Structure formats: C-alpha cells, structure tokens
A and B are shown apart, each in its own frame.
Chain A
Amino acid sequence: DAGVTQSPTHLIKTRGQQVTLRCSPKSGHDTVSWYQQALGQGPQFIFQYYEEEERQRGNFPDRFSGHQFPNYSSELNVNALLLGDSALYLCASSLEGPAGVSYNEQFFGPGTRLTVL
C-alpha cells in the first residue's frame, strides 16, 4: 500500500502565476481533504472532496479551487498567487463512514512545499 502520495514535492512560482498540486489517496479511500500549513502553525482546512464534489470549504478565497476524479485522486489549483500563499500544502484521505458522516481516520501525504517569489 503506497499510502497517500502528492506531487510535486517542491514548487517555486512567482506572484500572479497559477499552480496545480496533485494527490492520490490511500487505496480504498474515497474522500480527499486539502490543507495549507504555514511555518510554525497547524494545518488550515481548505476544502474536502467526496464523490467528485466539493462538500465543504474553509475560509479560503475563490482563487483556491479543486477537483476530484472518478479514481478519487484530486487536484488543488491556486490562481493569481500571492506571497502569502507560500506554505506546505497537505492532502489527506479517508473513507466515508455510515450515514454520510466520516468517522474514520485521516491519512496524510508528505505535502508539497510551495514557494511564491
């Protein structure tokens, strides 16, 4: 089991550019969540995807968008990059629980370090 994988590992962009980050969930998982972690802080929830739809979003602007594919993999897109978008971006996967509520454990990937210059 490869666990959660993310690509690329590192990325350097300039202000105003656009970036796409990718995530493959743990085998058997159907739910993907994305987080932003600034240096010295805890991860901040960006959004969660289930059944190819965004079903919850944290306090992030529309510049942050995503997609989930039929194989449950996911992409995070960030447009019009700002210096403040520099962070570690983490993807987590889990398995949807009964009655539409996930009681289950989240597993995280190694993250993508984004630097905006």
Chain B
Amino acid sequence: KQEVTQIPAALSVPEGENLVLNCSFTDSAIYNLQWFRQDPGKGLTSLLLIQSSQREQTSGRLNASLDKSSGRSTLYIAASQPGDSATYLCAVYTGGFKTIFGAGTRLFVKA
C-alpha cells in the first residue's frame, strides 16, 4: 500500500532564505509525482509535475527532484518571500489510477 510522508509538518523561515521541503513514498512504482500549493480554504495550485522517467523539474524559483529508487522527492524554494506562505502538498500517481497525497508542509515566511 502506497504511503506518502512529508517532513517537516510545519516550517517558519525568514524572508530571503532558501529552503527544502521533503516528500517520501513507500512504493517506487509511480507514474508521476506532483507538487501543489494550497492557500487556506482554497483549492490546489499545481507547481511542478515530474514524470517517473525524469529526475527534476524547474519553474522560476522552484526546483523539484525525484529519486524513485529511494522513494524521495524534494521541493527547493529559492529566496523565499512572504507570498510563498502556504501549505505545500506532494502527490504520487500510481498504477490503478489512484493519486495518494501527503499531509503537507505548512510554510510561513516572515517578512
């Protein structure tokens, strides 16, 4: 049974700091991994999608990596800003058309 874990559960950093969010999964048989951002009470905004054959994806200040063999993905945020404050969720898409989410990391960037 696929399980997705995100560490840390919450993180508070000063503005301008570079930071890394972690996501681990127990079954390496995934089709893709997607990172999302969620503002309080809102829907999910897709940040990056990494296919199983890829190692990393970049968008602006965000970089996501994928290591299937170790069951890990990281989301790197460069030069964090107060507007980055949100909950970040990772999700793996498995065989059988299921998507399994982690519980998320709540990020607070202090001005």
Contact = CB atoms under 8 A, between A and B. Distances in A.
Interface stretch (A13-21, A38-46, A60-68, A69-77): A38-46
A8 interface: no
Contact of A107 (B46, B51, B97): B46
Contacts of B101: 35, 42-45
Nearest to B44: A108
Contacts of A109: 43
Contacts, number: 65
B64 interface: no
A105 B43 contact: no
B102 interface: yes
A106 B99 contact: yes
Given A105-B46, A111-B42, A55 B97 contact: yes
Contacts of A103: 31-32, 51
A92 B31 CA distance: 17
Main secondary structure of the interface of B (DSSP, over half): strand
Given A42-B104, A102-B93, A106-B46, A33 B32 contact: no
A86 interface: no
Contacts of B100: 45
Nearest to A42: B101
A56 B103 contact: no
14 contacts: A35-B99, A42-B91, A43-B44, A43-B91, A44-B101, A58-B98, A90-B44, A92-B44, A101-B31, A102-B93, A104-B49, A108-B43, A108-B45, A110-B43
- Closest 3 A/B residue pairs (Cβ): A42-B101, A56-B97, A108-B44
